[in-house]
Chains A and B, each alone.
Chain A
């Protein structure tokens, strides 16, 4: 592990129940769900991680407790460091406190997670679908959401497929 990470890891371990691991040079910190907002604030204000690079989730269905891993990728522009923070979320009523009060770009990132994974963010100012249409059902990036396909038309079965094909409503 790079020596620059020492202070960050120690502060996170002291204040929150942080577990640290490393894979291929990426430093990863596991945090309990309730401490993500204070941890984000501390990372930004005291430890110099002033850029939230990205937020994403991974679905480990059919696991239920926990089902989702939510990843926060923090970058420190001043110290040239990159830190992953992982939070685990259960499968029944998945929800997390919002970090959009600390990092503004989390507003869209959290909307994306709600849209794609159905993870609710408590206190989010504008939790609507962002990429899928507003009346879409289901959350596409979940593992129990099948990858759809469209039946190809050929001359011999054109009419047969045409009858059952769902076209956009007028």
Chain B
């Protein structure tokens, strides 16, 4: 049997109310191994009966030091680590990183690669939202949604596996383009998904959107106004659910998003239900983008031909001396980048995913900082959780859609 330990609360005294010190309210530990905290989030709750008086998040259980590790890898090799940040948005992380490096060394990306990037990033967004939908359903006791969502997610992971050989950690998008062209089966697989998916979204909506039990658990809970959301640095669906039409794909289009016709869904209520509606609508919009990008996908190369930065094709290495030299230089020393620093942001399923990259002119990043959306979105949790029931707190955590790999880095 484990022994009970005395724990000091001195260093968090200023975060709890006076009543907790006097013993009127209870301090309760929730997590880090709690299924509804979506990973290893630990919350210290101050409870008055079942009402949350204060909520103190404790993060860092999944801190892997990726930013420090990347400083010791060349630009090409550091790409592999980006998958491990936000493990539900691996393609999006590759995209953010590759775009940052391309901006730093001024590398052009062929059109075909841009189209495939958009298709994969949007499929990944759908997969990420499906996980969110399934787990949020579980949080508010709607078991069956989870099973349906994971069925569709599996077909997206199959498409990713078809392209890259990996279901999750793809590292398919590289600085200068893609790892390789997509196989011939790709188009048919995506078309099949486009055909079945709209009906499936209607099915999820039929299960939840007008379900009185779901409405009871989500309507008017965890409300944040637009001004508060911006002040807390929230981005992505939680911000759009509060009525701010802010989506980097529309505001500062990248990778050719300006060619595609899609809406940015917003709601004004800012509660759990509004975030649900916004994400459901985003599923449909993402599918619209995938279809347009697939129709427009041009033929051509998928990698930049600047072999100072992008490895030459394998077939050339045997016959071309320059190609062999480039290959050797790229895989031993890596490429040097101009001195300077840039900030580049893309829209991940959770919000603004930014990369701040500092180069000292060498082949390794001098410093790389990841602006991860979950980190800022989670900060608003204590504010949203004030005065709600513990059961509602679970729904609120679900609605923010945090990924702890994204929070802790």
Contacts and interface: CB of A to CB of B under 8 A. Distances in A.
Interface of A: 23-24, 26, 50-54, 56, 58-59, 71, 73, 75, 77, 80, 82, 84, 103-105, 107-108, 125-126, 128-134, 140-141, 147
B341 A51 contact: no
A54 B67 contact: no
A98 to B, nearest CB: 15
Given A56-B356, A105-B232, A130-B60, A24 B244 contact: no
B65 A140 contact: yes
Given A23-B341, A56-B369, A131 B63 contact: yes
Nearest to A140: B68
A20 B252 CA distance: 22
A51 B60 contact: no
Name the interface size band of chain B: 35 or more
Contact of B379 (A105, A128, A131, A134): A105
Nearest to B250: A80
B284 interface: no
A140 B70 CA distance: 13
A135 to B, nearest CB: 11
Given A53-B354, A58-B358, A130-B59, A104 B68 contact: no
B356 A80 contact: no
A73 B356 CA distance: 9
A105 B252 contact: no
Nearest to A128: B11
Interface in B47-82: 59-60, 63, 65, 67-69, 71-72
B356 A71 contact: yes
Contacts of A131: 59-60, 63, 408-409
B340 A125 contact: no
Interface of B: 11, 14-15, 59-60, 63, 65, 67-69, 71-72, 103-104, 106, 230-233, 235, 244, 246, 251-252, 340-343, 345, 352, 354, 356, 358, 366-367, 369, 371, 375-376, 379, 408-409
Given A133-B60, A141-B67, A59 B367 contact: yes
A23 B104 CA distance: 9
Contacts of B354: 53-54, 73
Contacts of B345: 53, 82
A140 B233 CA distance: 25
Given A23-B342, A24-B104, A125-B14, A104 B63 contact: no
> Which of A23, A54, A103 gathers most chain B CB within 10 Å?
A54
A147 B68 contact: yes
A59 B368 CA distance: 11
A54 B230 contact: no
B385 to A, nearest CB: 15
A84 B103 CA distance: 16
Contacts of A126: 14-15
A126 to B, nearest CB: 7
A53 B408 contact: no
Contacts of B341: 23, 26, 58
